[in-house]
Amino acid sequence: MPAQRLTPFGGEFRDPEREAAFQAERLPETLRHTRLLFLLSACLNAAFFISDWSLYGESNFQTTFPARLVVVLIALVCFWSISRAKTFRQAQRSMIAWEWINGAAVAILVSSHTELALFAVLMLPSIYYLAVPTAFRWTIASGIGSSVMVLFGYMLPEPAGSSPIGLILLMTILNLALFLVVSRSNRLQRMGWSATQAERRAKNELADSRAMFETLFKTVPIPLLVVRVDGTIVETNDAAVRYVGATQRSLGIRTTQEFYADPRDRDVFLARIRKDGQISNFETRIRLADGSIRTVLLAGMALEIAGEPHIISSVVDITERKASEEKIWRAASHDPLTGLPNRAYFQSRLEQDLAQAERNGSSLTLLLVDLDDLRNTNETMGHLAGDALIKEAADRLNPLIESCDIVARLGGGEFVLILAEPPSSDAAQAMVDRILTDMRRPFAHQGDLLSCQVSIGIASYPDHDRQPSDLMKDAGLALRTAKALGRGRAEIYSPDMRAQLEERTSITRDIQGALRDGQIVPFYQPKVDLKTGRTTGFEALARWHHPVHGLLTPASFLAAFEDSELSVIFGEHLLRHVAADIRRWLDAGVDCGRIAVNLSTAQFNWVGLAKRFLDILHDAGVPSERLEVEITETVFLGRNAPHVVTALRQFHESGVRIALDDFGTGYASLLHLKQFPIDDIKIDQGFVRDLENDADSTAIVLAVIQLGRGLGMNVVAEGVETAGQASFLREKGCTQAQGYLYAPPMAAAAVPDYLQQQEVRCA
Ligand code: C2E
Ligand code: CA
Ligand code: CA
């Protein structure tokens, strides 16, 4: 307590309220003390009463007797009144009254000069100063007042003796000394009181905050645990007990080691606390009493209890929050149909992976994978089948995640894989081969076989480009090239791809325009029976009535047969023409025989090819027996062999004949002839041309004729230009021929006249 808060002389509190509080607190002691004082005074003076009795009869007795009586009575009255005092003020009133009345009575008593008078003169002020606990001003007043009174009483009755000055001086010194004693004692008492007050207040505050902490600890709805560093649980709150699903007791005997789903997490947690003294937002998974695993955020702080290191930790369960965050994240970053990451997620991943590759100086390969037949499937079998196909493709690609960084769906039938740091180019190639093989297996969907075949575009960092968007463009270009080159294959990006593709695109665009404008029509070249010389049918060959370049042969628009999409459109367009022509001829009574159309390998990419062709014939009212299809050996070598088998069977079963074109130039094995339902073999015109002057060609032609006959097939010779060639072939057993010797390919309008002339010639 600062000293300046006390009065300078009295040593009392300046603040009356504080002084009152001080007095109030001491009141019981004050009362007890003053009661004792009054009682002593009454008893002592009652004893003096007896000694005073010896003066009975003397003149002094007249004054001493009533004075002594007053002293005894006032002590008793004050004793009684102080016993009823409730406050310090009331008590003080009694004390002051006692002091003054007692003082006056003693002054009268000492005036009678008993032998004890001088002692009483010095004693009374001392008692007032030291033994009566009134307020300081009253102590001074009563001390000085009583000194004056008793001094007067002592000195008045007789003329001043030899030492009145000395007595006054003595009295003054006594008063001063007592003043100092009281002042100092007051000061010390109050300082002591203040100190205990402060101490008590601090203790109370401590007790309050402890109680508050305990209540908080117990009632806070967050699970809290106090544990020793060895993991022993020392204290838990109600929320912890509820959360863990244990009883207070059973939780108390456990250690934190039992909670961690991954015990290594505990070591990390402890290490961090040891390092920083605290830890917050430490995510881990814990096992509750019922065995369930929850994701939580732990916070912990080191604290010392009874000199021993402890940790107080709180647990916030974020299992649900994480689940819903995960749900939101999945919805935003994953494709709902396949469950694979979506384009947005892929893009951010690509950026990250590229940045990392740049940091590590490593490489990265992008595989852009696209379903070849999704559009056809959607158009012919509906979007549900399309969706099933996409899902199937995703399911087949998904296991590859083990050996690559991400498998994502970009949209439609387009997927992408990142091979971050491919161990070698062989590994990347192996991955590509694996995808192509996996996807080649047709997908059985509700009784139909859908083609799951894909084309792949490949681009690499840093070989091809460095920016994510550029790399994607490169892979896209490679993919389009793979598609243009016949699908079901993979192409690695190269800078000249763009120019090639642009050229291709412009040609394709022109051809598409020509198809739209009806500039592309079939010309017909007769097939002649070598024995009878009669026309058995025609081969339809495409011609382009080009507005600038005139009539163009297929050599100028080969792209139409190679591009997988265009070849399908082209083939249908031409067949529709052919069917219409046949129908018109039949209606006009012209027997055109069987008409052959050429099918390119690219057309077989489309699973629905045979069905579509048969539908077109049917719609035009043309019997399928009027149609023959010419295929080359390369179709067996393509990646679409399974489709080819199905298509050829369908054709065969519907009565469409199948001819193997350009025989001898390809790489087909003889096995194919047995395996597929082939009706005719067409000897390539290259061999026929050299028949008369090249022994090898002659040998090949002879062998083919033998083979065909052996297998019971029709053998057709192409490009027969001379009568010599014709007679040789006829002789060797070739059944049919085709070539300029008979007629070049002619417009449809020329066919009826040609047939009529033929009729005439044969007749
Ligand atoms: P190809 O199927 O081998 O057709 C025979 C080719 O030989 C035709 O050429 C025809 O005009 C030509 N030719 C016929 N007789 C003779 C002859 O005595 N001497 C010579 N030097 N040539 C003869 P064209 O019409 O130019 O067709 C070339 C190729 O284009 C065809 O060869 C065929 O593979 C393809 N092609 C034609 N039209 C179509 C079509 O509509 N679709 C498909 N996919 N390919 C077609
Ligand atoms: Ca042909
Ligand atoms: Ca041919």
In the chain, what are the domain boundaries?
Answer: 3-198, 220-317, 326-493, 519-762
Q: Binning pLDDT at 50, 70 and 90, where does residue 605 land?
A: confident
In the three-class reduction of DSSP (H, G, I as helix; E, B as strand; rest coil), residue 56 is classed as coil
What's the pLDDT score for residue 74?
A: 94
Q: Which pTM does this prediction carry?
A: 0.54
* Residue 160 confidence (pLDDT) above 50: no
- Half-sphere exposure for 652 (CA within 13 Å, toward CB): 14
Q: How far is CA 453 from the centre of its chain?
A: 34
Q: Which of 493, 473, 471 is nearest to 482 (CA)?
A: 493
The CATH number of the structural domain formed by 326-493 is 3.30.70.270
Q: Binning pLDDT at 50, 70 and 90, where does residue 405 land?
A: confident
What's the pLDDT score for residue 668?
A: 57
Q: Which of 598, 689, 746 to mutate to test the pocket of ligand 1 (most atoms within 8 A of CB)?
A: 598
Ligand 1 neighbour 551 (Cβ under 6 A): no
Architecture of domain 519-762: Alpha-Beta Barrel (3.20)
Q: Binning pLDDT at 50, 70 and 90, where does residue 320 land?
A: very high
Q: Binning pLDDT at 50, 70 and 90, where does residue 113 land?
A: low
Of 394 and 167, which is predicted with more confidence? 394
* Residue 2 confidence (pLDDT) above 80: no
What's the pLDDT score for residue 417?
A: 96
Give the separation between CA 169 and CA 178, rounded to whole angstroms.
Answer: 14
Ligand 1 neighbour 600 (Cβ under 6 A): yes
What's the pLDDT score for residue 146?
A: 92
Atom of ligand 1 nearest to the CA of 558: 30
Q: Counting every residue, how long is the chain?
A: 763
Instruction: Give whichever of 13-17, 46-50, 483-487, 632-636 has the largest mean pLDDT.
Output: 13-17
**Which two tokens mark 274?**
């040891």
What is the CATH T-level fold of the domain 220-317, as seen in this structure?
A: Beta-Lactamase (3.30.450)
Q: Binning pLDDT at 50, 70 and 90, where does residue 669 land?
A: low
Ligand 1 neighbour 324 (Cβ under 6 A): no
Ligand 1 neighbour 661 (Cβ under 6 A): yes
196-252 pLDDT, tens digit each: 989 999 999 999 998 998 888 888 999 999 999 888 899 999 999 999 887 877 777
Average pLDDT for 19-44:
94
Atom of ligand 1 nearest to the CA of 720: 18
What's the pLDDT score for residue 1?
A: 45
Residue 469: CB atoms within 10 Å? 11
92-112 pLDDT, tens digit each: 999 999 999 999 998 888 887
Q: Binning pLDDT at 50, 70 and 90, where does residue 5 land?
A: confident
Give the separation between CA 707 and CA 57, rounded to whole angstroms.
Answer: 183
Q: Which of 523, 541, 630 to mutate to test the pocket of ligand 1 (most atoms within 8 A of CB)?
A: 541
Average pLDDT for 170-184:
93
Give the separation between CA 96 and CA 540, rounded to whole angstroms.
Answer: 146
Ligand 1 neighbour 559 (Cβ under 6 A): no
Ligand 1 neighbour 553 (Cβ under 6 A): yes
Q: Which residues contact 422 (CB under 8 A, 6 or more apart)?
A: 363, 364, 365, 428, 431
Residue 718 CA, ligand 1 centroid: distance in Å: 9
Ligand 1 neighbour 574 (Cβ under 6 A): yes
114-124 pLDDT, tens digit each: 667 788 888 89
Ligand 1 neighbour 684 (Cβ under 6 A): no
Please list all protein residues whose beta carbon sits less than 5 angstroms from ligand 2, which is an ion: 598, 630, 661
Nearest ligand (C-alpha, residue 554): 1
368-383 pLDDT, tens digit each: 999 988 987 888 788 9
Average pLDDT for 125-141:
93
What's the pLDDT score for residue 319?
A: 95
What's the pLDDT score for residue 3?
A: 45
Ligand 1, atom 41, lies closest to the CA of 542
Average pLDDT for 177-191:
93
* Residue 568 confidence (pLDDT) above 50: yes
Average pLDDT for 627-655:
84
Q: Which residues contact 685 (CB under 8 A, 6 or more apart)?
A: 718, 719, 739
pLDDT above 70 covers a percentage of the chain that reads 96
Nearest ligand (C-alpha, residue 745): 1
